[in-house]
Amino acid sequence: MNNNNNDVTKKYGLFTAITMIVGICIGSGIFFKSDNVLIATNGSIALGVLSFILAAISIIFGCLTIGELASRTDKVGGLISYAEMFLTRKVACAMGWFQTFVYYPTITSVVAWVIGVYINILFNLQASLEFEILIGYIFLLLCFVYNILLPKFGAFIQNSTTLIKLLPLFILGILGIIFGDPINGLANTSINTLSGTGWISALGPIAYSFDGWIVTTSISHELKDAKKNMPKALMLGPLIVLSIYVLYFIGISCYVTPEVVMTLGDRHVSLAAQNLFGPAFSKMIIIFIVISVIGTVNGLVIGYIRMPYSLSLRKNMFPFSKHLRKIDKRFQMPLNSAICSLIICTIWMFVHYLCTKYNLLYNSDVSEGAIGISYIFYTLLYIRVFKMYLDKEIKSKFKGLVCPILATIGSLIILSGGIQNKLFIFYIIFCILLFLYSLYYYQKNNH
């Protein structure tokens, strides 16, 4: 089966690609991971900012490096197509299975749950974890439905929510710096914190906050002038995200103090808004955050519903390919692929519930391990770009040498942050078993 994508409408432009990166990255992470970052850095704002910058190395230079591959193809599958073209079909198969069964569904499920968290905060319901999970899952279902039936509406949601979600970040970040004490806040870092390595674990939640940039590559075959627009989006998106994150993190931490952020957790945003503008505006900020998270879930779903479809187009890479690669003519959408994605998301939503209910992943969740492991795959592509430079396929020293080296260093930094979690080893074992089975399936069906 070839990767012909002529039957899929080119429905997205450069602006949608950029807003997917910004919209997915800037969603729930920065709001509900700020306390995790400060806990890891023992309340040090300066180390938190340093952690954001270190994590950004992997994202920014990773995007520039992947962009070099994106400029050479617009085939269906995004990251899978890059692995297939520039690495091997076996690696592409393992990567596709990981993205389909672990990466996309864990992140999508966790972010959908966060909608329930902030609905709880918005209406001060004091509701249970079960209620938050239920609210998150209801929206997840809704998101799948409208992206299947009305894909252009999904693109509209992505574009509009990205613009809306920047407002609370700018407002709280700038006013937090003005009315807070940024000089003392940034200077307050103990010698013990600097001498230890515990703060490196902050890279886990920060990687979560940044993650999502790679999802945009899943729509490359539906992007107008993809070979030019995809690299542009991968270059501009992460720079926008880093600037906004650092502004917000410094502002909110200096205004309400790190101790309060760590104590209140996700509710610190509401307190800051209430102190600055009163209860009414506090509610408005939470509404903006809910819209922000909705945009993140929307972007993830846009990418995820195409993953089983992308794998099914490749010969003998995925079960039930005959059914999953069908395009529903009414909606110009791989309907069976979308249903498959929803089922997997539902399973991971339940796993996330159990892990949260019984605190199985301290100061973490089911998505952070998946994000850490994904950088192993990214690194393989970075190395390939470096080899292309050595083979003189890439002439630019910056694109072929500097970017992949810095992207690889960034990936190692992210992985070192993930290893700080003691249960990360179990995640690795689970993913290794998945990889081995995917390779067994591939080998069995490709004699």
- Residue 2 pLDDT: 44
Using alpha carbons only, give the angle 176, 58, 378 rounded to the nearest 5 degrees.
140
Give the per-residue pLDDT at 3. 45
Sequence-distant (6+) residues with CB within 8 A of 148 are 305, 331, 333, 335, 338
Phi–psi pair at 72, nearest 5 degrees:
-105, -5
CB 83 within 8 A of CB 91: yes
* pTM for the predicted model, two decimal places: 0.79
Q: Name 383's Cβ contacts closer than 8 Å, sequence gap at least 6.
A: 404, 408
pLDDT value, residue 367: 84
Residue pair 200/44 in contact by the 8 Å Cβ criterion: no
Which residues, at least 6 apart from 4, have a Cβ–Cβ distance to it below 8 Å?
A: none
Residue 5: predicted pLDDT? 47
Joined together, the tokens standing for residue 257 give 């103090």
Cα 346 to Cα 441: distance, rounded to the nearest angstrom = 24
Q: Which of 97, 137, 144 is nearest to 307 (CA)?
A: 97
Domain ranges of the chain: 14-446
- DSSP codes of every residue in 72-114: T---TTTHHHHHHHHS-HHHHHHHHHHIIIIIHHHHHHHHHHH
The residues facing 328 across adjacent strands are: 333
**CA-derived radius of gyration, the chain:** 21
Q: What is the pLDDT of residue 219?
A: 62
Question: Tell me, what's the pLDDT at 11?
Answer: 61
pLDDT (tens place) for every residue of the chain, 447 residues total: 444 444 455 667 777 777 777 766 776 567 767 888 888 888 888 888 888 888 777 778 888 888 888 778 767 657 888 899 999 999 999 999 999 999 999 999 999 999 999 899 888 888 899 999 999 999 999 999 999 888 788 778 877 776 777 788 888 889 989 998 888 777 776 545 545 556 666 776 677 677 766 666 656 666 777 777 777 777 788 778 888 888 989 999 999 888 888 888 778 888 888 888 888 878 888 888 888 888 888 888 988 998 899 899 888 899 999 999 998 888 778 999 999 999 999 999 999 999 999 888 766 788 878 888 888 889 999 999 999 999 999 998 998 999 999 999 888 877 776 665 666 778 888 999 999 999 999 999 886
Helix pair 203-210, 403-419: axis angle to 10 deg: 130
Let me know if 358 is exposed, middle or buried by CB neighbors in 10 A (0-12, 13-18, 19+): exposed
Count CB neighbours of 141 within 10 A.
13
Which pLDDT score is estimated for 397?
A: 93
**Coil, strand or helix: which one is 182?**
helix
Give me the half-sphere count of Cα atoms (radius 13 Å) on the Cβ side of residue 304. 32
The neighbouring-strand residues paired with 333 are 328
CA dihedral 325, 79, 427, 193 (to 10 degrees): -150
Structure letter (DSSP) for residue 196 = S
Tokens found for residue 128: 């249970």
**Rounded to an integer, what distance in angstroms lies between the CA atom of residue 195 and that of residue 204?**
19
Q: Is 276 helix (H, G, I), strand (E, B) or coil?
A: helix
* Burial of residue 122 (number of CB atoms within 10 Å: 0-12, 13-18, 19+): middle
Closest CA to 216 of 292, 104, 140: 104
Show the tokens assigned to 260. Answer: 């309060």
Cα gap 371→351, rounded to integer Å = 16
CATH architecture of 14-446: Up-down Bundle (1.20)
